[in-house]
């Protein structure tokens, strides 16, 4: 009707002004919240924790500002902080007092992770879920993720050690195990070992697509796990490969993985997105130490706004398809979220 009465006005309005204005739904926080597509809350976070055989209760990690190694005695205060922030789970990494060729500390009944799991479950019960990293690199004198034979990691020989480690973690009370070694067939062997031992309800979160990334340097300082010779490209994936990641993920699902993981996160958002489209299974992403340290250092120099950068980075990980994020920023993120409630 308007165009019949005022044809020139109608023409000018439609030629000079947009009919649809996306800014209408961005003009205040209420509208922006109503149309927000991706949620980031503590429910999606897993906090990595380093526990070490040592006299001190905690020791700062120089390469990772505000991240510490904890002794078993110092661990309860850190876990209490995590619980108070409603973070649902921690991922434990152990650093033994002594290392050897076969990583015996990884599966010792009184090993560092086993002791840590027992104290956490005793003090906090189901208030926090305990996930344990299953690998050999922190425990072997050579720093590789398996048993060395003829100068190389022997895949099949390593499997029984990984299964033994996973079982010892579960016997200590772990709620979930997370094999990170990238040995072929390890999910299957761990699943069979747990099932035979009566732990059919314990899930496996598999580091399914773990890349040989340049971003692990600070972690290797934190976990004291740098390889003493060579590198890990013989078992970790090459960064240029996409399709290989889907093959690795598919294999781990077939072997019994309950959750699959992509590591690192920010440099591999395309892999996360592909995995989300391809597989109907819970998906985790590990935002690794290098990602953490880069943001921390840039923010400390005033080059980035710390809170906005951390929220944006982790929102990108969620937006790309991750159901859960393993991140050293978990406590900060949860604290900011809590402050908004």
Residue 113, token pair as written in the block: 């992770």
Active site residue 121: no
Rg over alpha carbons for the chain, rounded to the nearest Å, is 23
Please give the C-alpha separations between residue 164 and each of 97, 257, 332, in angstroms, as whole numbers: 20, 17, 35
Active site residue 331: no
Q: Give me the catalytic one of 52, 115, 121, 210.
A: 210
Interacting residues of 45 by C-beta distance below 8 A, sequence separation 6+: 87, 88, 89, 324, 325, 327, 330, 333, 334
Residue 319 class from Cβ within 10 Å (0-12 exposed, 13-18 middle, 19+ buried)?
middle
Helix segments in the chain, DSSP class H? 2-5, 7-16, 29-34, 75-84, 112-124, 155-172, 186-196, 217-222, 243-255, 269-278, 289-300, 306-319, 330-340
Q: Give me the catalytic one of 115, 121, 263, 331.
A: 263
**Strand, coil or helix: 149:** strand
The residue whose two tokens read 């720093």 is 143
Residue 74, token pair as written in the block: 């110092």
Residue 176, token pair as written in the block: 């979930």
- What is the rounded CA–CA span in Å between residue 285 and residue 164? 26
Residue 297, token pair as written in the block: 């250092």
* Residue pair 326/301 in contact by the 8 Å Cβ criterion: no
Q: How many CA atoms lie within 13 A of 66 on its CB side?
A: 11
Catalytic residues: 210, 263
């Amino acid at each position: 009707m308007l165009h019949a009465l005022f044809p020139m006005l109608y023409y000018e309005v439609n030629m000079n002004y947009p009919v649809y204005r996306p800014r209408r739904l961005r003009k205040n926080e209420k509208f922006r919240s109503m149309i927000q597509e991706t949620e980031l809350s503590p429910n999606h976070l897993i906090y990595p924790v380093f526990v070490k055989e040592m006299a001190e209760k905690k020791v700062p990690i120089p390469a990772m500002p505000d991240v510490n190694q904890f002794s078993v005695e110092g661990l309860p205060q850190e876990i209490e902080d995590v619980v108070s922030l409603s973070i649902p789970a921690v991922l434990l990494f152990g650093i033994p007092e002594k290392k050897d060729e076969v990583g015996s500390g990884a599966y010792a009944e009184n090993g560092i992770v086993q002791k840590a799991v027992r104290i956490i479950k005793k003090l906090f019960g189901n208030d926090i879920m305990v996930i344990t990293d299953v690998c050999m690199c922190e425990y072997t004198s050579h720093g590789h993720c398996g048993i060395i034979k003829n100068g190389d990691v022997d895949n099949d020989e390593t499997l029984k050690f990984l299964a033994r480690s996973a079982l010892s973690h579960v016997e200590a009370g772990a709620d979930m195990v997370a094999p990170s070694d990238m040995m072929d067939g390890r999910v299957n062997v761990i699943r069979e070992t747990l099932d035979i031992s009566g732990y059919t309800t314990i899930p496996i979160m598999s580091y399914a697509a773990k890349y040989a990334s340049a971003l692990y340097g600070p972690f290797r300082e934190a976990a004291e796990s740098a390889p003493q010779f060579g590198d890990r490209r013989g078992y970790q994936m090459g960064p240029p490969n996409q399709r290989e990641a889907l093959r690795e993920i598919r294999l781990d699902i077939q072997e019994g993985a309950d959750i699959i993981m992509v590591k690192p996160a920010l440099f591999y958002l395309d892999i996360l997105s592909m995995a989300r489209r391809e597989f109907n299974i819970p998906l985790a992403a590990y935002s690794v130490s290098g990602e953490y340290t880069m943001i921390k250092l840039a923010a400390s120099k005033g080059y980035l706004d710390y809170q906005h950068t951390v929220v944006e980075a982790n929102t990108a990980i969620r937006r790309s398809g991750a159901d859960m994020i393993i991140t050293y920023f978990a406590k900060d993120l949860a604290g900011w979220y809590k402050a908004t409630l």
